[in-house]
Amino acid sequence: MTEVRAVFDPQTNKIYLFADQALDANDAVMTALHEKTHLGLRKAFGAKLDPLLDDIFKNVSPKRRADMQKIADQYNLDVGRQEDRRVMAEELLAHMAEHDVSDGIVNRAIAFIRKLLRDMGFVQEFNDNDIRAMI
């Protein structure tokens, strides 16, 4: 089983990096940046992300469901808890965007975040890559 290198606590908006689990300094930096992305999304959109995360959890393909189960096992998450399901969906989304996986999940997230940005008054056109970088 993979050891957890860092976690983002959405309750406190803090990132905890477990340096002894990092492969090297670069791995520690990349891990911190991954967690910082969660912090940025939560700070920017907060609970407005919940419908997207709930939809991702509910409608993933069997292959992605297996990926989310691995995330649940890795982070000791309880599928019965709504907040844990959202963490699983957010982790899956972040991983897919980070690794440039072309999938309906990422495309739905891009459209969802684009709408949130417009609703927040941003009239600038954000292309898919701009939003993928935010994810």
Which residues fall within 8 angstroms of residue 12, CB to CB, at 6 or more apart? none
The residue with greater pLDDT, 107 or 135, is: 107
pTM beyond 0.75: the answer is no
pLDDT at residue 106 above 70?
yes
Mark out the alpha helices in 1-135 (DSSP H runs). 25-45, 50-59, 62-75, 82-98, 104-119, 128-134
What pLDDT, on a 0 to 100 scale, did the predictor assign at position 111? 84
pLDDT at residue 92 above 60?
yes
Mark 82-111 as b/e (b = at least 16 C-beta within 10 Å). Answer: eebbbbbbbbbbbebbeeeeebebbeebbe
**Each residue's pLDDT tens digit, 24-76:** 877 777 777 667 666 667 777 888 889 999 999 999 888 889 999 999 998 89
